[in-house]
Amino acid sequence: MNKYQKIGQATLALCVVMMCLQGCDSDITDEATASTVLHPPGRSQATVNAAVSGVSAVSGGAQAAEWPNVVSAVDRDAAVENRVTMLLDKLTLEEKVGQIIQPEIKFITPEQVKKYHIGSVLNGGGTAPNNNKFAPVSEWVAMADAYYTASVAGNGAGVPLIWGSDAVHGHNNVVGATLFPHNIGLGAARDKDLIHRIGEATAQEVAVTGIDWTFAPTVAVARDDRWGRTFESYSEDPEIVRGYAREMVQGLQGVGDQLLNETHVVATAKHFLGDGGTDRGIDRGDTQVSESELLTIHAAGFIAALEAGVQTVMASFNSWNGVKMHGSQYLLTDILKGKLGFDGFVVGDWNGHRQVPGCSVTSCPQAINAGLDMFMVPSDWQKLYENTLQQVRTGKISRARLDDAVSRILRVKVRAGLMDKGLVSRRSLSAKPELMGGFGHRALAREAVRKSLVLLKNNGALLPINPAQKILLAGSGANDIGKQSGGWTLSWQGTGNTREDFPGATSIFDGFRKVILEAGGKVELSLNGSYLEPPDVAVVVIGENPYAEWHGDIASIEYQYGVKEDLALLKRLKQAGIPVVTVFLSGRPLWVNKEINLSDAFVAAWLPGSEGDGVADVLVGDKQGKARYDFVGKLSFSWPKYVHQTPLNHRDPDYDPLFAYGYGLSYSDSTVMAADLPEATTLPSSGELEDAWLFVSRTLSPWGLFIASGSGDPVEATGNSHLSGDNENLSVLSVDKESQEDARKIRWLGLEQGRAYLAAKNPQDLSAFAQRNGYLQLDLQVTEAPSSSVMAAIGCGEGCEVATSLDSILREWPLGTWRSVTIDLQCFHNDRMDFSRVNVPFSLSTEGSLTVSVANVKIIPRTADPSSATRLVGSSEQVALSCSGS
Ligand code: BGC
Ligand code: BGC
């Protein structure tokens, strides 16, 4: 009998809600902010820091870092500067303000571009001209022409606008474009020349559509693989990011007399700074590191990009030690423009300015004053334009700061030749639509796929496969180009795509079929692994479904956390005695020990993009069974051995990965792996259990937020406004607590019983938290007091739910005040409760009316002395519900 069960016999002693002096809540606070990492004793951020690039350990950021003097490959040219000054002199105040506003093409017409003197537009992830996903190149060019013409007429100096787009793995918003492997795969290729050539090819496809500027490369150094943008990072180590940043920038922009000519485009180093270092890998979160760690790890790619002459830098959504980057004068102005000598312009991220304290989407002098030069403000640009204009008139933004921002934008436009290139449709590449997804570019992408594959296991030299056999292709990724392409593919999250959306592309199956049939072998495609004829070998392509920023953040690095469908598929094949090659598609290393144990060979294929046939190039040999291409990919991210092992990074002290950074077999290796990788998901006794986040700005997978009224069907609240069924008894709205839409306001009208709850499709094991006297913690604000009793509950399937009353807490609530509520998991204990299979970790229900807002929901373990678990507090900021003890 464990600790929890013993205590759990106690009756539910409800509600110690008491006022408390500062000190007595310290145990709760400490727990809440404790390291959420399962790490070997003694490892800290400071020591991690010290291990990188030989910089001495600095704790807490007290010691200033030695930022280098950067010499940019793009010289300060007197003729350019003169031209910038002349142009600036010709602009009115209104025209200058227009230059620093960047709306999204869905929300602005060419007429408005002219009227408001707009200096830039972007198309966001998944936006194409006229909302036409299948817009041909000619439609893109026509739209670029229309904006161009409107913009030069919109100011006294004839300055055209600059159009930016996220060409982050090829020109990925355009149907038919070449889609290169995402950055994580390129990182494994360890080939700088390849990166340079990809930059050049991407620039050409972008230029073909008449777009001047790409928001790439991402030079993030992703440190926690739970981050949904890990795949946009070349490596967890600055070493690779540094080298790649330089090549990608120069490939995109060109160098020497090729610089920013008609076949090149302006590049962006993003997101400045520390985007890959946020706590627990939470997108847009806080990067809590010393300045020297910021420099040696997170700034490495920016410094290289600046040296290579990158002309724009995008400010990041994240904070550094609590300060939002869009408002950081120190990093944007003092460091980037001062110490690092950046003379291009800083563009904001999607409404990123609104997160600066005191700002809103439509007003933010703080960001401009901190050093932002251009607002990315997709839809609410008109109000922002008007407010910014007013703020310059009243001196809230100085004229000098505005002139500086506009000069920077003009400098980049002049350097990019925009003053002279003329109408978009008359530029040389607009006449070459055949370059879009052209043969040469696809061959390059296929080369990149080959080089990005990392061979992790190859027992009995199962690979390369002799094509003159019977081969089964199975798994959800075998014939799905959308899945193999990942996020930022024709839609923002990469979801919703079908085969028809990828003309000219090949799936992984396509590549296998071709070589197998040519060699006289037999191939069968069966996603669920059933077969007509027993195959000689099965190739099982599985992995993550597409996601991008935000949506891609995960709570656990366990693959198929919850339901292991693919494991079942592997087991079936194994039991039938069929040798199995697993091809794993993913945007990050995940914990797949069980899957590896069941595979004879295992290949990390990342997110290869449109040229799926590059996979068979390497995995399938010739008719003699000899390899056609060897594996050259080496991990640029460490692969975890344990399910709780994150963050896990190269150069960590006590580094204990399953496959180390740099690992990757080739065909000459004869390494044999026993099928004995640790499969337990429980914590080693020495380990700390991390907080389990259920909701932070959005629900974290596998959890979802639902509302249900009476016996009506539950509605999942995935967007920012939802109503329950017909009577609209419940509603959920995304609202701001500390940042944009980081809380949900839930309203009960009281027409019938209504329930708002978090749930997972498959039961989750939370028993470790119950055993450690865990708590559920959330931030709560009551804006309308309950008219009837309110119950909180935890559910573990049919007939398995335990509820506890929240009345004592809610009755006393100072309306409108946010408080942190802790509810002892013991409050939900009884004979029926099974914490090892929780599908609803939290629900709130009432028959009455009530309005509450909820944020930051998590489950916290308490490993400390259990007696302290009963010492709970209530104050203006904190309330607790305690049920443990005697
Ligand atoms: C856009 C993306 C953008 C995101 C920001 C989406 O609607 O398509 O380009 O990054 O919003 O939240
Ligand atoms: C992303 C950026 C992207 C921008 C425009 C943002 O949400 O963070 O990476 O460039 O949207 O789509």
Considering every ligand atom shown, identify the ligand nearest to the alpha carbon of residue 741 and give its number. 1
Any atom of ligand 2 within 6 Å of the Cβ of 215: yes
For residue 268 the two structure tokens come to: 């962006």
Rounded distance between C-alpha atoms, residue 451 and residue 118, angstroms: 43
* CATH 3.40.190.10 matches 78-435: no
> How far, in Å, is the centroid of ligand 2 from the Cα of 350?
6
CB of 350 closer than 6 A to ligand 2?
yes
- Rounded Cα distance, 768 and 757, in Å: 22
pLDDT tens digits, residue range 106-162?
Answer: 999 999 999 999 999 999 999 999 999 999 999 999 999 999 999 999 999 999 999
* CATH 3.40.50.1700 domain position(s) in the chain: 453-687
pLDDT value of position 873: 40
Of 295-299, 300-304, 575-579, 691-695, the poorest mean pLDDT is in 691-695
pLDDT band for position 687 (50/70/90)? low
CB 541 within 8 A of CB 490: no
Ligand 2, atom 8, lies closest to the CA of 349
Ligand at shortest distance from the CA of 349 = 2
Atom of ligand 1 nearest to the CA of 127: 8
426 membership: H or E segment, kind and range: none
**Cis omega (within 30 of 0) on the bond before 273?**
yes
Q: Which residue's CA is the closest to the ligand 2 atom numbered 6?
A: 350
**Higher-pLDDT residue of 166, 53:** 166
Instruction: Give the pTM.
Output: 0.82
Residues in Cβ contact with 706 at an 8 Å cutoff, skipping those fewer than 6 apart: 714, 715, 716, 717, 756, 757, 758, 759
Mean pLDDT confidence for 793-810:
88
The finding on whether 217 has its CB within 6 A of some atom of ligand 2 is no
From CA 427, how far away is CA 206, in angstroms rounded? 13
711 beta partners? none
Neighbouring C-alpha atoms within 13 Å toward the C-beta of 778:
27
Over residues 449-503, the pLDDT tens digits come to 999 999 999 999 999 999 999 999 999 999 999 999 999 999 999 999 999 999 9
The amino acid occupying position 112 is Q
CA-124 nearest atom, ligand 2 = 12
**How far apart are the C-alpha atoms of 317 and 550, rounded to whole Å?**
11
pLDDT (0 to 100) of residue 25? 28
Return the best residue to mutate from 121, 491, 492, 698 for the ligand 1 pocket (most ligand atoms within 8 A of CB).
492
Which of 719 and 397 is assigned the larger pLDDT? 397
Q: Is the dihedral of CA 85, 86, 87, 92 positive or negative?
A: positive
Q: Determine contact, residues 586/580, Cβ cutoff 8 Å.
A: no
Ordered DSSP codes for 6-39: HHHTS-----------GGGGHHHHHHHHS--S--
Cα separation, 293 vs 270, whole angstroms: 18
Helices (H), 438-528: 439-452, 481-485, 508-518
Alpha carbon 702 to chain centroid distance?
16
Q: State yes or no: pLDDT of 6 exceeds 50.
A: no
Per-residue pLDDT band for 876 (boundaries 50, 70, 90) equals: low
Residue closest via CA to ligand 2's atom 2 equals 349
First to last CA, the chain: 17
The pLDDT of residue 697: 83
Q: Where in the chain is the domain with CATH 3.20.20.300?
A: 78-435
CB within 8 Å of 78: residues ≥ 6 apart: none
Q: How far is the CA of 349 from the centre of ligand 2 (A)?
A: 6
Which regions of 130-212 does DSSP assign to beta strands (E)? 162-165
Q: Which of 14-18, 406-410, 747-751, 771-775 has the lowest mean pLDDT?
A: 14-18
Rounded CA separation 79/776 (Å): 64
User: What six digits make up the tokens of 770?
Assistant: 């119950």
Q: Which atom of ligand 2 is nearest to the CA of 492?
A: 12
Q: Minimum-distance ligand to the CA of 232?
A: 2
Pocket of ligand 1, beta carbon within 6 A: 124-126, 350, 492
Q: Which atom of ligand 2 is nearest to the CA of 314?
A: 10
Choosing from 347, 350, 551 the residue with most ligand 2 atoms within 8 A of its CB, the one to mutate for a pocket test is 350
| pLDDT one-digit tens code per residue, 343-386 | 999 999 999 999 999 999 999 999 999 999 999 999 999 999 99
Q: Which ligand is nearest to the CA of 102?
A: 2
Q: Is the CB of 166 under 6 A from ligand 2?
A: yes
Mean pLDDT of the chain: 89
Q: Dihedral sign for Cα 346, 348, 349, 350, please.
A: negative
**CA atoms 756, 722, 850, 699: torsion sign:** positive
Confidence category of residue 579, pLDDT binned at 50, 70, 90: very high
* Band (547; pLDDT cuts 50, 70, 90): very high
What CATH topology corresponds to 453-687? Answer: Rossmann fold (3.40.50)
Give catalytic residue positions.
349, 549
CA of 352 to the centre of ligand 2 (A): 10
- Identify the three-state secondary structure at position 325: helix
Coil, strand or helix at 403: helix
Q: In a mutational test of the pocket of ligand 2, which residue from 166, 211, 273 has the highest number of ligand atoms less than 8 Å from its CB?
A: 166
Spacing of C-alpha 769 from chain mean position: 27
Question: Would you state the pLDDT for residue 52?
Answer: 39
The answer to whether the Cα torsion of 499, 502, 503, 509 is positive or negative is negative
SS3 assignment, position 585: strand
* Ligand 2: centre distance to CA 491 (Å): 12
User: For 694-881, which CATH superfamily applies?
Assistant: Galactose-binding lectin (2.60.120.430)
Question: Strand pairing of 470-474 and 537-543?
Answer: parallel
Instruction: Confirm or reject: Cβ of 126 under 6 Å from ligand 2.
Output: no
| Rounded distance between C-alpha atoms, residue 448 and residue 180, angstroms | 7
What are 855's strand-pairing partners? 743, 779
**CA 178–ligand 2 middle distance (angstroms):** 20
